[in-house]
Structure 1
């Protein structure tokens, strides 16, 4: 909960500092398709299978071509988990969920037309839900690239490609040194590439 509060405080602080320069804000509705990823650790393996992702974001423009955004994204993929012998350990109960709460920034490149290419990145927390182990909260980040297609109305469409990741502690490895055994924390990371579209409702101050 502390991570969520920190994100909110930072987001509101940025808005406050740039309130006089801000030009508009957008309500963004996200839809996308994430491709699978495979994880291997200490003889065990897991798959994060393909699946659809959806979410919502609030984007505030601190200048004409730059914005900050707080967004929530969710996907509900199957996550089969395999033992060292290749047998699935969660057979019949492999449904899970990936949640992202990210604060990020986006830069739009002004082309003088209704097509605005953009680059963006964000960081925050990721929440993994599984029937076996409940919920876990981890560091998460994303990067994205795409194009915003403006229309004559308040609605615009964004087409983008993105990479999302979250990192979880997965135990310790021990190494023998001159001073004796030393334990080192091991980490496992999820990397999912995706393609998506965003429906944006744009509002002027």
Structure 2
């Protein structure tokens, strides 16, 4: 099986490159492994487990080397919340999920090879499902980079590293200014670091 995988990889690298044309629309299927994270806030913390993130989206090329991307990603994971209040520690364990809706884009550094590096990012929202039910919608952003492998077919394979960050309001911090106390919004920030693969299908 290992020999067949090496042969397939060698074929993808040796195949002639099919350039992404202006006006192309790509249907992308996403899959990645996401590492665990610990989110701290004023009165406790939440441990977010590792897991598998998956989703789908569309990528439109207004120019040959730049794209606009709209996608949906879902990350099912375990959550452990520890909240400190009134000299006690309240702990809640269970399963939750992050649902990301992001719009952004990529820039491809096409040098004539069939392995094309790229960088990209996006902005959007994260709908977080907690262990006890209910959901909360917050701001999210993404940074990513990788390599897209192109072939003569309409199918492409991308290897990508990414980070998606969610910002949730978590109380206020008080600072003393010239005119007295000033309340400033505090945020709990999570970071989902992922390594994965994208399978693209050219719809043009």
Same fold (TM over 0.5): yes
User: Structure 1 residue 110 and structure 2 residue 144: aligned?
Assistant: no
Residue of structure 1 in register with 2:66 after alignment: 66
Structure 1, unmatched stretches of 5+, are: 1-20
C-alpha change, 1:132 and 1:116, in structure 2 (3 Å) is same
Describe the SS at the equivalent of 2:132: coil
Residue of structure 1 in register with 2:201 after alignment: 201
C-alpha change, 1:197 and 1:77, in structure 2 (3 Å) is same
- Superposition TM-score, scaled by structure 1 size: 0.83
Matches within 5 A, 1:8-19: none
Cα distance in 2 for residues equivalent to 1:116 and 1:135:
39
Matches within 5 A, 1:21-40: 22-40=22-40
**Shift in Å, 1:42:** 2.0
**Shift in Å, 1:178:** 4.0
Cα RMSD between the aligned structures?
1.8
- Superposition TM-score, scaled by structure 2 size: 0.83
The superposition leaves residues 77-115 of structure 1 with CA deviations (integer Å, 9 ceiling, x where unpaired) of 111011338956113xx1000011000110111121211
Q: Is the 8 A contact 1:80 1:88 kept in 2?
A: no
Cα distance in 1 for residues equivalent to 2:42 and 2:143:
29
> Which one is further off, 177-186 or 120-129?
177-186
Cα distance in 1 for residues equivalent to 2:114 and 2:36:
33
**Shift in Å, 1:142:** 0.3
User: Structure 1 residue 89 and structure 2 residue 91: aligned?
Assistant: yes
Residue of structure 2 in register with 1:14 after alignment: none
Structure 2, unmatched stretches of 5+, are: 1-20
**Shift in Å, 1:47:** 0.7
* Structure showing the higher strand proportion among its residues: 2
Q: What is the number of residues matched between the two proteins?
A: 182
Matches within 5 A, 1:124-139: 124-132=124-132, 134-139=134-139
